[in-house]
Structure 1
């Protein structure tokens, strides 16, 4: 995931944007940090999904085909 310093900076810029506003440089920094955060989040989420196995009440594997195919590709 993203370092705590970067997350703190994202939160700091968000607070400041609501109160006093941001300079153009700060707006660009905020967008860059947000994009990096979302990229890391999506990557982590996809990794978690690939480790999921769906079972029905009878104990049968009912994992969606799309997820099974994703696992095979990686």
Structure 2
């Protein structure tokens, strides 16, 4: 849908068709290509940067409870 919106924007600029619009279109095109080139990299980096601390901290928080839970279960068994 994002791609569709961008395409429609470009098409509108094409239809207006003056030199100024052609320039802005080229600029937008360059920006879009740049975004699409950088986007996956940024997403992956942020995903990794977010997921690892989350995994780390959640495991640290959950682990004591998990051990306690196991200990209580084994003690009662």
* TM-score of the pair, normalised by structure 1: 0.39
* TM-score of the pair, normalised by structure 2: 0.38
Computing the radius of gyration over CA atoms, which structure comes out larger, 1 or 2?
2
Bigger relative contact order, structure 1 or 2 (CA pairs below 8 A, ≥6 apart): 1
